[in-house]
Structure 1
Amino acid sequence: MKKQMLLVAVIAALSVQAGAAVPEKTADTPLKPQPGQTQAALWASRVLTKLHYKPAPLDDAMSEKIFDRYFKSLDAEKMFFTQADIDQYAIVRTRLDDAITGENLSVPFGIFNQYQQRFNERIAYARELLKGKFEFTSDETYQYDREKADWAKSDAEIKDLWRKRVKNEWLRLKLAGKDDKSIRETLDKRYEGYLAPSRKLTNEDVFQIFMNAYAMSIEPHTNYLGPRAAESFDIAMRLSLEGIGCVLQSRDDYTVVREVVTGSPAGLSGKIKVGDKIVGVAKDEKTPITEVMGMRLDDVVALIRGPKDSTVKLEIIPADAGPDAKHTFVTLVRQKISMEEQSAKKAVYEVKDGNTKRRVGVISLPTFYMDFEARRKGDKDFKSATRDVKRLLGELKKDKVDNVLIDLRNNGGGSLTEAVELTGLFIDKGPVVMQRNSDNKVEVESDTDPGMAWDGPLGVLINRGSASASEIFAAAIQDYGRGVIIGEPSFGKGTVQTLFGLDRFAQNDKVHYGELKFTIAQFFRINGGTTQLRGVTPDIKLPTMGDSDTFGESSYDNALPWTQIKPAIYIPAGDIKEIVPLLDKKHVARVDKDKDFQYLAEDIALVKKQRKENSISLNEVVRRKERDQQEARSKLREARLLSPTPGADDPILVPDPKDALNKAISAKPASGKAAPTPKVAGVKGALRSDDGLQGSERSLAAELEAEKQAKAAKDVLLNEAVHILADEVGLLKTDTRMASRVLPYAAADSK
């Protein structure tokens, strides 16, 4: 009780201090915790301290970790708080455990309100700087990634950081050809735009940020999901929702239609177009129109979504009309929408091998999805990654492909069941992965369905973004000797999570506590090792674009260590040890002559150099020279990457009227840092010159055209992977002894 009274006293004192410094015009209503949130925090702590794979007590030591992670979550780049702000809260550094167990979240909410104050102050200062002028002749530099930097020691130091940030953004626009008046207007609108989303944050947002600071202090893949976040997670897993079939985006306080899903209610109506602005929504026939101008995007989406066969009415400003144009009204009946963009897709490529053409089928799988609810209800058509891939393999057989490549780049995982069942499409039957729980009990997950959907040669393409279920699949294929793993070392996530609904502890149906996603086990390869921390090492390595210090399991300070257990009993499905060196030799010889690959290597080297330097000149002469060099380099790449005519050695995409493979696989999502990223051949989004603008500052038409170009660009890494598999076909056809080792099941079938 004494501790709790001290907490209340401290936060009250700090709130008074914070309030005294807030300018009247920028003061916002402080957010406060709700009773349901304090109860949810308490129940979450009880679950995590008892059921987690590596349970950690909620004590003073954990409180210190939560304290540091919470401040980092709010201000990762250390551009808002100063060291003095951190010191101000030092007295509660070991008291956040008491805030949770004592059901008093005033402290974390007080910290957030202080953050909001600092946010308003820094943005106001940035806008004030725009009234002056900048000189670009000195040799100043700007550090664009401050995640590992120290907190600014004083207000003067943080103001200087903001001066350099604004100066850099001004210079980028100047180099893009903008005049001072235009630059000033663009940046002032940009900084003003930062304030609106900040002011729309709710107590649910703050609670989720704080609870994630706690959950992730236990282990990186443990999270708290508020009610709305839990719904979004469920939608992502089942790849379907009930709505009208529009992809929406916020632009200048409008909710804008970015994409209309083919075959959806919106698409079939013909009344909604890309670029339309939704300004009002009636959730059902009995509800009046709610104005949604300036509303948070997720709130607008919540109004539009609803039960299947129910009605929604939209008030729209047509895309080609001005803001004062006549509004139109569209009534639609909601239906189940399948998110096909994230579904498995196939394509067929042909590679010349002398006078012969090798056909390689490529299946792109963005995630291991499954509609758990539909499967539980016995729906025979439930959405499943394995079922989709099995169907595509059947189509590829009809296309008479010689080899199959499963593209798992940037596939962050998903359903463990799907990983096991997908592996079963390529092995006869046997263990796929082992799980060890907190009691050290080991369970083996096996494919029990005999036979293979594809018994021919196989390759798997991975990168640093391939994680979890992707690593289970790739590791099993590698351990069975079933296929060639190509790419770069994977993420290194070797843990298993479960969802735990906290609503079971609620006192009534109107209170929602959200969900916990927490680690319950560690998975192990059938060879006894784990992918944890180290990931899957490819048999044939392609250039590494990721940075292990900032992305991947090894970048976390509290990741579980690598370990191993006793191997499972399994019979290899093939032996690729003999063929891999031969494939690698051909690969090296080919890329040494491949101009696209040389460009890629040069660009990656430049990215790594700039990442290491972590600074950019604010001298106009220096920057203009760098810009000119980058533009010259980019023109050489663009001419090749966007050429409609493939090179003599490029794989030829065979047209398919039913499906088209999305060749542009997303790179790691941008962090929002103003880093001077050079263009990298074959990477989505790499073809746009630096215009100094942010996404919402460009026209929607320009954004969509840039994405279209990126998708049409040559995918250098995919092309090389296809070449490697074509090489494999050639080697197997000329050496029957090797073929019988690599593909013993296929050889047996042929007899």
Structure 2
Amino acid sequence: MKKHMLMVALAFAATTHAAVPQPVKVGTTQLRPVATQTQAAAWAATVFGRHHYKVTPLDDAMSEKIFDRYLKSLDGDRLHFLQSDVDSFDNVRTKLDDAIRTENLVTPFSMYSLYQQRFNERFAYSRELLKGKFDFTVDETFQIDREKAAWPKNLEEARDLWRKRVKNDWLRLKLAGKDDKSIRETLDKRYENYVGRMSKVDSEDVFMTFMNAYATSIEPHTNYLGPRSADNFAIAMRLSLDGIGAVLQQREDYTVIREIVVGSPAGMSGKLKVGDRIVGVAQADSPGFTDVLGWRIDDVVQLIRGPKESVVRLNVLPVDAGTDGKTVTVALVRKKINMEEQAAKKTIIEVKDGGVKRRVGVISLPTFYLDFEARRRGDKDYKSATRDVARILGELKKEKVDNVLIDLRNNGGGALGEAVELTGLFIDKGPVVMQRSAEGRVEVESDVQPGLAWDGPMGVLINRGSASASEIFAAAIQDYGRGLVLGEPSFGKGTVQTLVNLDRGNPGEKARYGELKMTIAQFFRINGGTTQLRGVTPDIKMPVTSDPEGFGESSYENALPWVAIKPVPFTPSGNVKQLVAPLQKRHEARIAKDKDFQYLQEDMAELRKLRKDNVISLNEAVRRKERDALEAKAKQREARQVALRAAVTDEPADLLDAKDARSKLVPPAKTAKAATTKPNRQDDGLQADERNLASELAAEKAAKDAKDVMLQEAAHILADEIDMLKTDTRMAARLMPYLPAAKPGN
């Protein structure tokens, strides 16, 4: 595959500062931009104006778009600003383009400072409300999503809005069985923590928020990455970092160890446990510890990460020690940590139908990862999604699976080349995807390696969260007739991004200006169509679990349109279309009798209604009735699960622990979660960092281990396919000539 690394040589002339609007006066502690940020903004504008796929002038019209997006990123639910605040910004609505070009970002920083002030005022008022009492017999409602609501007209209206918000927080805890004293303490601490986190916001946070308002005003998938975000993006792509192998979480003022990676320095030491609190960090050559109590989690992580083979010392308050307990010092040698959780994994699902058993090998691929730097260095063992999948396919062959399913649900993409090379594991050479540049130049990316890593039947499972490289792979498999695409329509992202390092424009200096993730091309299927906006339509359609209006490319008002170009010649591997109608019929007949699918569809219907109504009652009697109905439904489902387990294990139902058999309402589909029957945890009114860490981790594990409805059904569909092919071998040879049994001499 050809490399599309945008090399940008920028010549910058000295600039003079033009007049800009005066900042809003909000106090003496407002954050201000630094020189590297103002320069980075101007350089980014130059790059966007010359090299973006959708060149958009930085003018007054763009300024208005930036303004609206920036305002939305600050106060998207319209909870903090008053209408008068928004009106006071009118004089700068068309001046943000000037602010960027003249390297004077006082205006967006001043807007942020007023937001920060209003934020603190709202939570100060919320804490005052906790000293009083609420009347839960009144029939009033709270609006869940205020994205399209009007701004509060005045302070009185804002306070009434926040009264309802606090009242809802209180009612949730009350319904969970908390007494007034406990509720008051919990909420007061929560609101205090909100204000504490706000106080830790720095100028880089504000700058990134503003720059991303600019970048996404051009096109949805263009972003600015600050220096730290750029580092994290690189780590995510190569699935490795140099560190100690501990996943950290902020809980109140503490940095808490949430997970320890097996085989890592943290795990091998035996001196750290989940729940331990890191209160100090020191490097090998430092005589004393840096106190990190109350620090932001990313700042603590930055101290703990470091060069491989270097030493970091941690001052740790053990999980079983009180806040005044004795700390211990743990010295660890940093090593390369592989993020295996995001790597390709396999499972085998056995499907029994009558007396026949089929084995379906499932390869779950969360992202199309590639360690660019290691490959560039010539490392033989560089990390790659394609390499890992090829290895797993070899293992599945030895385990004699009948069919292979590539699970790309919620895979948002990654390295474009990996999508091409992964396709090559299933086809015998040929074009995979086309790219068209802003100039209209079309290039074809092809698999050039002969042979197949897997020559048996296969399928691809997608959902609304499958995007970009996932769509390239699924579309190629579909166009070649190589396998079945199952699930729901994909995201619809048909654009190609590259990273532009802004430091290249300022060589030799230590300052870091961040990177641009910028759209430079659009990709097209080999049949000439594009996945842009419309996504990939599955061959076998499964129940939709997402919200297409609120999630996906079509939800962006400035998304690029769907277009088509001339197809590229290619030779299909097979033709699975003839199998689609009978397989769809079997699928629909099966799920019509499947209680888990019925539960899923019921839950999605309830969520759609909740989104449409967009209000929740603040009347305790009404909420208790709603809660009791949900509990009754959960118990009914639980009883079924217990009975099923009893039938399988031959144990009496009353001896089974039914708690882990409860099903959970599928969360709002904006996040495109995989549809599963998960253990139910009634709303306890708490936030994640307010719960006991051990119980939270146990609940997450139970949810992870629960039945995956969609995956199980996908395996059943592929088992049906095997049955059809084995029943009619002549049809198999005609539709899938690449199968071993269909080749001459077999």
The interval holding the TM-score normalised by the smaller chain is over 0.9
Equivalent residue for 1:261? 261
Q: Does structure 1 conserve the Cα–Cα contact (< 8 Å) formed by 2:73 and 2:209?
A: yes
Match of 1:712 among 705, 708, 711: 705
1:59 pairs with 2:59: yes
1:7 matched residue in structure 2: 20
Quickly say closer, same or farther: Cα 1:647–1:221, change in 2 above 3 A: farther
The equivalences for 1:52-451 within 5 A come to 52-451=52-451
Q: Which residue of 2 aligns with 1:45?
A: 45
- Report the secondary structure of 1:134's partner residue: coil
8 A Cα contact 1:406 1:461, kept in partner: yes
Q: Which position in structure 1 is the counterpart of 2:6?
A: none
Separation in structure 1 between the aligned mates of residue 172 and residue 675 of structure 2, nearest angstrom: 22
Rate the CA distance shift 1:646–1:540 in 2: closer, same or farther, 3 A. farther
Q: Secondary structure at the match of 2:293?
A: coil
In the alignment, which of 721, 728, 734 is matched to residue 728 of structure 1?
721
* Contact 2:551-2:670 within 8 A present in 1 as well: no
**Mapping of 1:304-703 within 5 angstroms?**
304-506=304-506, 508-638=508-638, 645=645, 682=676, 687-703=680-696
What's the secondary structure of 1:414's corresponding residue?
A: coil
Taking the TM superposition and a 5 Å limit, the aligned residue runs for 1:14-53 are 14-15=24-25, 18-19=26-27, 29-53=29-53
CA displacement, residues 658-692 of structure 1 (integer Å, 9 cap, x when unaligned): xxxxxx9x978988xxxxx9x996166x6221001
CA contact (8 A) 1:638 1:687 kept: no
- Partner amino acid for 1:211? M
Alpha-carbon contact 2:674-2:708 (below 8 Å) kept:
no
Residue type of the alignment partner of 2:714: A
Partner Cα separation in structure 2 for residue 700 and residue 647 of structure 1: 34
Q: Distance in 1 between matches of 2:188 and 2:381?
A: 52
Letter in 2 for 1:577: K
**Mean Cα deviation higher: 346-355 or 399-408:** 346-355
What secondary structure does 2:743 align onto?
helix
User: Helix, strand or coil: the match of 2:249?
Assistant: strand
Deviations 1:155-191, CA, capped at 9 Å, x for gaps: 2222111111111111111111111111111111110
- CA pair 638-307 structure 1, distance change in 2 beyond 3 A: farther
**Is the 8 Å Cα contact of residues 276 and 318 (structure 2) preserved in structure 1?**
yes
State the secondary structure of the residue aligned to 2:516: strand
Partner SS, residue 349 of structure 1: strand
Partner Cα distance (1:115, 1:520) in 2 = 34
Percent identity for Structure 1 against Structure 2? 67
Deviations 1:49-88 (A, max 9, x none): 1100011010000000000000101111111112211110
Q: Which runs of 4+ in 1 moved over 3 A?
A: 3-6, 636-648, 666-671
Q: For the Cα contact (< 8 Å) 1:176–1:690, is it kept in 2?
A: yes
Deviation of residue 643 (structure 1)? 8.7
Question: 2:546, 2:670 within 8 Å by CA — same for their partners in 1?
Answer: no
Q: Secondary structure in 2 aligned to 1:257? A: strand
Aligned-partner residue type, residue 722 of structure 1: A
Q: What TM-score do you get using the length of structure 2 for normalisation?
A: 0.93
Residue of structure 2 in register with 1:743 after alignment: 736
Question: Separation in 2 of the partners of 1:742 and 1:159?
Answer: 67
1:652 is matched with: none
Q: Does the 8 Å CA contact 2:315/2:328 hold for their aligned counterparts?
A: yes
CA shift in 2, pair 1:298/1:469, >3 Å: same
DSSP-derived class of the 1:578 partner: helix
For 1:485, what is the secondary structure of its paired residue?
strand
How many angstroms apart in 1 are the aligned matches of 2:324 and 2:596?
49
* Partner deviation per Cα, 1:545-602 (whole Å, 9 max, x = no partner): 1111211101111110111101111111110111111111111111111111111111
Q: Deviations over 1:488-541 (max 9, x none)?
A: 110000000000000012264321110000100000011111111111111111
CA contact (8 A) 2:249 2:297 kept: yes
- The answer to whether the Cα contact below 8 Å between 1:494 and 1:532 also exists between their aligned partners in 2 is yes
Q: Map Cα deviations across residues 705-732 of structure 1 (whole Å, 9 max, x no partner).
A: 1101101211111110010011111110
Which consecutive residues of structure 2, in runs of 5 or more, have no partner in the other structure? 1-13, 649-663
Distance 2:258 2:641 in 1: 26
Distance, in Å, in 2 between the alignment partners of 1:374 and 1:390 is 19
2:654 matched to which residue of 1? none
Describe the SS at the equivalent of 2:503: helix
1:380-402 deviation per Cα after TM superposition (whole angstroms, max 9, x unaligned): 10000000000000000011000
What letter is aligned with 2:441?
Answer: K
Structure 1 residues 681, 243: closer, same or farther in 2, change over 3 A? closer
- Distance change in 2, residues 1:644/1:392 (3 Å): farther
**Equivalence for 2:653:** none
Change (3 A) 1:642 1:57: farther
Q: Is the 8 A contact 2:344 2:363 kept in 1?
A: yes
Hey, what does 1:657 align to over in structure 2?
none
The whole-number CA distance in structure 2 between the counterparts of 1:343 and 1:619 is 47
In structure 2, C-alpha distance between the alignment counterparts of 1:680 and 1:48, rounded to whole Å: 36
Aligned pair in 2 of structure 1 residues 439, 543: CA closer, same or farther (>3 Å)? same
Residue 25 of structure 1 corresponds to none
The CA RMSD over aligned residues, in Å, is 2.1
SS of equivalent residue, structure 1 residue 491: coil
Alignment partners' CA distance in 1, 2:601 and 2:527: 34
Please give the per-residue CA displacement for 1:106-148, whole angstroms capped at 9, x wherever unaligned: 0011011111101000111111111111111122111111112
Aligned partner letter, 2:686: L
Q: Measure how far apart 1:647 and its partner are.
A: 8.0
Distance 1:669 1:122 in 2: 29
- Greater CA deviation, 382-391 or 285-294? 285-294
Asked whether the equivalents of residues 412 and 465 of structure 2 are also in contact (C-alpha less than 8 Å), the reply is: yes
Structure 2 Cα separation of the partners of residues 44 and 37 of structure 1: 10
Distance across 1 between alignment mates of 2:737 and 2:675 = 38
User: Residue type matched to 1:555 in 2?
Assistant: S
SS in 1 for 2:577: coil
Query: Contact conserved, 1:455 with 1:743, CA < 8 A, in 2?
Result: no
| 1:589 match: secondary structure | helix
The change in CA–CA distance for 1:499 and 1:642 in structure 2 (over 3 A counts) is farther
Question: 1-side partners of 2:199 and 2:641: how far apart?
Answer: 43
Give the match's secondary structure for 1:194: helix
Deviation at 1:749, TM superposition (A): 6.2
Gap regions ≥5 residues in structure 1: 20-27, 649-663, 672-676
Instruction: Report what 1:653 is aligned to.
Output: none
Distance 2:669 2:244 in 1: 27
- Aligned-partner residue type, residue 207 of structure 2: F
The answer on whether the counterparts of 2:550 and 2:670 sit within 8 Å (CA) in structure 1 is no
User: Aligned-pair distance for 1:634?
Assistant: 2.1
Query: What's the CA shift string for 1:637-664, capped at 9, x where partnerless?
Result: 455668994988xxxxxxxxxxxxxxx9
Secondary structure, counterpart of 1:426 in structure 2: coil
- The answer to whether the Cα contact below 8 Å between 2:674 and 2:710 also exists between their aligned partners in 1 is no
Deviation of 1:333 after TM superposition, in Å, equals 0.4
CA contact (8 A) 2:482 2:573 kept: yes
Partner of 1:23: none
Contact 2:351 2:358 in 1 (8 A): yes
Displacement of 1:288 in angstroms is 2.2
